[in-house]
Chains A and B, each alone.
Chain A
Amino acid sequence: MQRVPVRELNAMERIKNFDEVCLGYSVEEAIKEASRCLNCKNANCVKRCPVGIDIPKFIDNIKKGEFKEAADVIFRYNNLPAICGRVCPQEIQCEGGCVLKNKGQAVAIGKLERFIGDYVLENNLDVVERRPTNGKKVAVVGSGPAGLSCASTLANLGYQVTVFEALHEAGGVLVYGIPEFRLPKDKIVKREIENLIKLGVQIKTNVIVGRTVTINQLMDEMGYDAIFIGTGAGLPKFMGIKGENANGVFSANEFLTRVNLMRAFIDEYDTPLKIGKKVAVVGGGNVAMDAARTAVRLGAEVHIIYRRTEEEMPARLEEVHHAKEEGIIFDVLTNPVEILKDDKGWVKGMVLRKMELRDAVETGRRTPVEIEGSDYIEEFDTVIMAIGTVPNPIITYTTSEIKINNRKCIIVEEETGKTTMEGVYAGGDAVTGAATVILAMEAGKKAAYAIDKYCHIGER
Chain B
Amino acid sequence: MYKILKKKTLAENIIMFEVKAPMVAKSAKPGQFVIVRIDEKGERVPLTICDFDKQLGTVTIVFQVVGASTIKMSKLNEGEFLLDFAGPLGNPSEFVNLNNEELRQKRFLFVAGGVGTAPVYPQVKYLREKGIDCDVVIGARNKELVILKDEIEKLGCRVYICTDDGSLGFKGRVTDFMKKLFDESNRYDDVVAIGPMIMMKFVCLLTKEYSIKTTVSLNSIMVDGTGMCGACRVTVGGQTKFTCTDGPEFDGHLVDFDEAINRQNMFKDEEVRRLHHSRECSCF
Contacts and interface: CB of A to CB of B under 8 A. Distances in A.
Interface string B222-248: 011011111101110000100001000
Interface residues of B, number: 42
Interface stretch (B7-15, B85-93, B128-136): B85-93
A212 B27 contact: yes
Interface stretch (A86-94, A243-251, A325-333, A410-418): A243-251
Contact of B240 (A205, A244, A393): A244
A304 B234 CA distance: 26
Contact of A262 (B27, B43, B87, B266): B43
B267 interface: yes
Interface stretch (A253-261, A294-302, A305-313): A253-261
A268 interface: yes
B190 interface: no
User: Which residue, of B24, B88, B226, has the highest number of chain A Cβ atoms within 10 A?
Assistant: B226
B53 interface: no
Chain B binding surface, main DSSP class: mixed
Contacts of B85: 206
B254 interface: no
Contact of B84 (A205, A238, A251): A205
Nearest to A269: B41
Chain A binding surface, main DSSP class: loop
B71 to A, nearest CB: 10
Contact of B229 (A168, A257, A270, A272): A257
A314 interface: no
A234 interface: yes
A236 interface: yes
Contacts of B68: 270
A394 B242 CA distance: 13
A211 B88 contact: yes
Interface stretch (B101-109, B180-188, B269-277): B269-277
Contact of A207 (B23, B42, B83, B229): B23
B63 to A, nearest CB: 14
B263 interface: yes
A274 interface: yes
Contact of B263 (A258, A263, A345): A345
Interface of A: 166-168, 176, 205-208, 211-213, 234-236, 238, 240, 244-245, 247-248, 250-251, 253-254, 257-258, 262-264, 268-274, 344-345, 392-394
Given A208-B86, A254-B229, 7 more contacts: A208-B87, A245-B235, A253-B229, A257-B223, A271-B223, A274-B270, A345-B259
- Sorted nearest first, the 10 A-B pairs with minimum C-beta distance are A345-B262, A254-B229, A272-B273, A206-B86, A251-B230, A272-B267, A234-B228, A168-B84, A272-B270, A270-B43
15 contacts: A167-B226, A168-B44, A168-B84, A168-B86, A207-B23, A208-B86, A208-B87, A211-B88, A212-B27, A213-B23, A235-B230, A245-B263, A247-B265, A270-B68, A392-B226
